[in-house]
Amino acid sequence: DAPGRLIRCKDYMARRAADAGILAMECYFPQRYVPQTALEEADGCAGKYTVGLGQTALAFFDDREDIASVLLTACARLLERYGVPASAIGRLEVGTETLLDKSKSVKTTLMAQLFGAEHSDVEGVSSTNACYGGTAALLNSVAWVESSAWDGRYALVVCGDIAVYAPGPARPTGGGGAVAMLVGPDAPLVMAGPRATHAFEVYDFYKPRGNTEYATVDGKLSQDAYLASVDTCWSRLKAKLGAPAAAEQLGLNGSPADLRAFDYVCMHSPYNKLVQKGFARLLYGDFADDATAPRFAGDAQRWAGVPPAKTVGDREAEKCFVGLAKPDFEAKCAPSDTASRQVGNCYTAALYMNLLSLVSAKASSLIGARLLLFSYGSGAVATAFTLIGREPSGGSALALPPASPFTLERIATTAQLAERLTARTCSDLPTLTRALELREERYGQAGYEPSGDVGALAPGTYYLAAVDELHRRTYSRK
């Protein structure tokens, strides 16, 4: 009831939020996919996408789904499966680069479908900077919960994109999906410690053309910018972790502030092979700080004294450190790649799809674990930050049934990630091609009803019903 909610709000505002972070997570990805081996066969390049990119499958949308419907489905899944009413949400922030309008935030469509006119007191809009928007939305929402403006309600963060490329070598790096996150105090994934950001100008991936979904991409430049951002953010984060207060907050207790201090690592994943290279850059950063450490004996000594910036793009150094990092990668990073390898690039949701994969794989064993996260968005902005897994006390911004607290185990069992990936439909290459042709034909049009097959959607999926002559969109749910 409203009076009770206000009392709880005043109580929480008086003592401020503690252990703010991610309470719950849900995701949505396409029901249909094509194996990367089928793309390799069609392009006559066996191993190029499965080994060279490290990808297993490419998920895809046709014209029946747009970014609003994709985000709607992710949000609805979270709210319904966790029993969170619209009245309990005080902030809704979106991260996406898949724009339907250059002025109107897609957040307003989510409000109309999920909240209704009686629940319009909800802060937040959309954050856009390539793949970084989801992180901006999460950081903003955690800051809101920790601020004096917080009114005791939850924040809902949703990030997602539809990643499509023109026919050619870039098409296998596409994909799409969304992740929704409930943010509040007493979280099982608490945001802790300092973070480090690197923001700079680079034209590696951008969308200057209004007549197409396709980006203008310099693949080599984008890879180098990503890896250089790992170097910079990691160096800056380690410097901040050297401060006694920061080390104490993360419980380092005199341990070195390097890769060994973190139990798991989640990284932005355009494709899995780049994640492997990015992880190796973390190890190279530790090597640059202490090349004489026994763990770096052997071939790595060829680069002793060479600054990280001098080795970006050095294939021999890359091969050496990817190999040296492989055991740590398999233990710390590979558990987070389940969804991204099978779905493809989700742009703003990629990092958080990896986080959900990690939680799904490890669940309550993450209690007490330190998680290093690296977010990158072309153009470019990158941030490294830390989450700590914990056992919540059972309290939150609003009262919950005693049997249903927000926990890591609940996130894993609710998402059913492995089961949902297995239940998808394997499609053929002509189906993929036609779906992407439909998207290309419809882009920017008005006055039409999509022709994509509603029957191919999973139950509970929102979809685009029509676009009128004034480009106004209406949605339905299967």
Strands 205-206 and 154-163, bridge-based pairing: unpaired
- Tell me how far apart the terminal alpha carbons of the chain are, to the nearest angstrom: 32
Range 219-225 contact pairs with CB under 8 angstroms and sequence separation of 24 or more: 219/170, 222/270, 222/378, 223/274, 223/277, 224/312, 224/313, 225/376, 225/378, 225/380
Q: Which helix (H) or strand (E) holds 193?
A: strand 189-199
Retrieve residue 54's tokens: 């490290």
Asked if 76 and 28 count as a contact pair (C-beta separation under 8 A), the reply is: no
Within 10 angstroms of residue 142's Cβ, the number of other Cβ atoms is: 23
- Report the alpha-carbon distance of residue 442 to residue 13 in Å, rounded: 48
Residues serving a catalytic function are: 97, 131, 268
- Report the alpha-carbon distance of residue 202 to residue 216 in Å, rounded: 12
Q: How far is CA 78 from CA 86, 136, 271, 291, in A?
A: 11, 20, 26, 46
The runs of H, that is alpha helices, within 160-307 are: 219-241, 244-249, 272-289
- Report the alpha-carbon distance of residue 384 to residue 374 in Å, rounded: 4
Strand partners, 265: 372
Closest CA to 466 of 455, 454, 76, 163: 454
Asked if 197 and 177 count as a contact pair (C-beta separation under 8 A), the reply is: no
- Report the alpha-carbon distance of residue 20 to residue 142 in Å, rounded: 6
- Report the alpha-carbon distance of residue 270 to residue 262 in Å, rounded: 23
